[in-house]
Amino acid sequence: MNDPIGDEVYTRWVIKEAFTELLGVSSFEKITVHSIVRKAGISRSTFYLHFQDKYDLLNQMTEQIIEELLELYGKFEDDEMLLNMNIAYTKGKPCQNAVEICEHIKTNNQFYCNRFKDINFVNSLTDRLFSRLRLIYKDESHGIFAAYGTVGCISRWLAEGLKGSSDEIALRMASVALPR
């Protein structure tokens, strides 16, 4: 028995995986729907059942991946979580949430490497992260500092080819993010 919902989810996943692989070797501008469908092993009509064009695909993927990242930051909205993060940092250990954020970046590194070349994406990510961090820290100035510092750390890590473990990078980001 066919599962149309399962087939649809799988097809969208295949398209996104193919697109992500192409982002790892090509600029967005050079990627075509033809190259996506060829890589995914599907027809053009199947692609267009799921996305209007490559811009729609990029926008939907961007929204999904950034939402996943912001959800990880949502775990810090608890004052106890910030305290635990501070305690772990003073002991030279990253908190698990910060490591999960770094793992998210690693998992989606081809996407982020490509998207970080677009200043509009970087600005949008920073703004959205600031909105989240302002609520976490209950302080606008610290939220701005932490958002820009975090995006800067991520950008540098990507530019260095993800050198350093998730634990090391989580500690680097905590040094920027934690109130002193």
Of the pLDDT bands very low, low, confident and very high (cuts 50, 70, 90), residue 73 is confident
Q: For the chain, what is the domain count?
A: 2
Cα 57 to Cα 29, 62, 85, 122, distances in angstroms: 13, 8, 36, 18
pTM: 0.85
- Is 24 part of any domain? yes
- Is 56 part of any domain? no
Of the pLDDT bands very low, low, confident and very high (cuts 50, 70, 90), residue 18 is very high
Same domain, yes or no: 39 and 115? no
What is the pLDDT at residue 176?
78
Same domain, yes or no: 100 and 160? yes
Q: Which two tokens stand for residue 115?
A: 């998207």
